[in-house]
Structure 1
Amino acid sequence: MELKNKRVLVTGGSSGIGLAIARCLVGEGAKVVIGGRRVEMITSSVAELSANGRQAWGVAADIGTPDGRARTLTDALASLGGLDILINNAGGVRAGRLEAISEAEIESMITVDLLAPILLTRAALPALRASGDAMVVNVASGIALIGAPFYTVYAGVKAGLARFGEALRRELKGEGIHVLTAYPGGTDTPMMRSNRAGPELGFSREPASDVAKAIVEGMQSNVFEVIRGGEARAKMIALNQVDPQALDKRFLGLKPALEEAVNDHCAL
């Protein structure tokens, strides 16, 4: 896909991977609206993105609510005059043992990480169809491909988002709307600040700019998926398919240290 002059909405676009994607897109000449909950972050990010004559706007709204989703899409369409690309990037996480995660935290992850992208995509489809050359990008997680202990709910909702994207891609095939799913690994973002796990526990971190560059290159090439983590992650994914018990054993040895390192990981 040629990105110049494309009209793009990026949810969760005021920081982390979302902001890094927005930076790449305006650099390619796209017109971008970023969404997020915090007015001050939206304002400062839009100021950065729109420098040097680039076209960027923002909308402060909570896509976890019906009103927030409606306002996000309405404002984006008003600013852009239509929509060519929807990037479902906003998300939240709460790690820890399942029984230690509150019902409210579980509901928040399901709502923001899965329900909101589905409903926002559904609402955006008429505008995307009108484009004739459109795309939906769902930012899932490497944990959607390899379930990790203490991330049970997060793994479930991100895997759900990934399968939603796969099914939607096939549903829309031949109708002018492509669907791409991205699987970032550990990324150096504000969302990861409360995660104390390091490379020895499988949480190597790469810059958000590298993840964003790979996703944008995937968009330009119309690929189905972008998986980060390099050869090591690829080997783990393959092993998980042919010998999942081997990974069970590996995680068993890491469990005490991993639980301690991620028990306070929360970004909701």
Structure 2
Amino acid sequence: MEVQGKRILITGGSSGIGLETARALAGKGAKVFIVGRRGKVVAQAVAALRGAGGQAEGTDADVTTPEGRTRALVGARTWLGGLDILINNAGGVRAGRLEDTPEADIRQMVEVNLLSPILLARAALPDLRAAGDGMIVNVASGIALVGVPFYTTYAAVKAGISHFGEALRRELKGEGVHVLTIYPAATDTPMMTSSHAGPDLGFVREPASAVAQAIVEGIETAAFQVIRGGETRLAMIAQNRSDPAALDARFLGLKPKLAEAVKDHSAL
């Protein structure tokens, strides 16, 4: 897909992977409409994108609510004049032992990471069909492919959006709308600020700009999926399928240190 001139809505687009993806797409001539919960931060992001010569607009909206999803879509339709690509990037995490995780945080992770992208995709499908060459991009996580201790709910919802994308891609095959799923590894974003897990625990953070570039390449090539983390991540995924007990043993040795490192990891 040629991204120049494409009309793109990006949720969670005011910071992190979302903002860097907006920057990369705008740099290639796309028109981007970003959505975030904090109006001031959205305005700053839009100003930065425009300052770099990009065509950008945005709005503050909480896409976990019906009103927020409507605000996002109406704003995008009005400014863009239609919609070619929906990027479901908004997300949130709360790490820690399952029994210590408040029910409200569990529900919030389900809402923002799984339910909202599904409902937003459903609402945007008429626009994407009308475009004739539409695309939905769902940002999952490497944790969707290899479950990590203390990220049980996060792993569940990210695996859910992964399989949602796979099923929807097949459902829409031949109908002018493609679905791409992104699996970032640990990324240097505001969402990771409260995590103290480092390379010794397998959390090697790459720049958000690198993930964004991979997303753009995935869009351009109409890929099915983009998996970050290099050969190390691919080897772990393969081992998780062929010898999951070996990974269980590996994580057993890491559990005490990992539990301490991620106990305060929260971005909801």
TM value normalised by structure 2: 0.99
Cα offset, 1:50, TM superposition: 1.4
Alpha-carbon separation, structure 2, partners of 1:233 and 1:17: 19
Alpha-carbon separation, structure 2, partners of 1:40 and 1:29: 25
1:232 aligns with 2:217: no
SS at match of 1:113: helix
Residue in 2 that maps onto 1:18: 18
SS at match of 1:50: helix
Amino acid at match of 2:25: L
Residue in 1 that maps onto 2:159: 159
Residue in 2 that maps onto 1:128: 128
Matching of residues 193-204 of structure 1 within 5 Å: 193-204=193-204
Matching of residues 149-188 of structure 1 within 5 Å: 149-188=149-188
Amino acid at match of 1:86: L
In structure 2, the gaps of 5 or more residues are none
SS at match of 1:33: strand
Alpha-carbon separation, structure 1, partners of 2:58 and 2:68: 13
Provide, for residues 150-172 of structure 1, a one-character-per-residue CA deviation record: whole Å limited to 9, x for no partner.
00000000000000000000000
Residue in 2 that maps onto 1:241: 241
Alpha-carbon separation, structure 2, partners of 1:158 and 1:59: 25
Residue in 2 that maps onto 1:2: 2
Residue in 2 that maps onto 1:206: 206
Matching of residues 214-229 of structure 1 within 5 Å: 214-229=214-229
Alpha-carbon separation, structure 2, partners of 1:61 and 1:119: 15
Identical-pair percentage: 67
Amino acid at match of 1:261: A
TM value normalised by structure 1: 0.99
Alpha-carbon separation, structure 1, partners of 2:249 and 2:70: 46
Provide, for residues 40-85 of structure 1, a one-character-per-residue CA deviation record: whole Å limited to 9, x for no partner.
1100000011125421000101001110011101111001000000
After TM superposition, where is structure 1 displaced by more than 2 Å over at least 4 residues in a row? 51-54
In structure 1, the gaps of 5 or more residues are none
Aligned pairs, how many? Answer: 268
1:254 aligns with 2:254: yes
Alpha-carbon separation, structure 2, partners of 1:52 and 1:101: 41
CA contact (8 A) 2:195 2:262 kept: yes
Provide, for residues 200-240 of structure 1, a one-character-per-residue CA deviation record: whole Å limited to 9, x for no partner.
10111000000100111111011100000000000000000
Residue in 1 that maps onto 2:60: 60
Aligned Cα root-mean-square deviation (Å): 0.6
Amino acid at match of 1:204: V
Alpha-carbon separation, structure 1, partners of 2:3 and 2:127: 17
Alpha-carbon separation, structure 2, partners of 1:11 and 1:197: 26
Cα offset, 1:106, TM superposition: 0.3
Residue in 1 that maps onto 2:103: 103
Alpha-carbon separation, structure 2, partners of 1:127 and 1:35: 17
Alpha-carbon separation, structure 1, partners of 2:38 and 2:112: 15
Residue in 2 that maps onto 1:39: 39
Amino acid at match of 2:253: G
Alpha-carbon separation, structure 2, partners of 1:106 and 1:138: 20
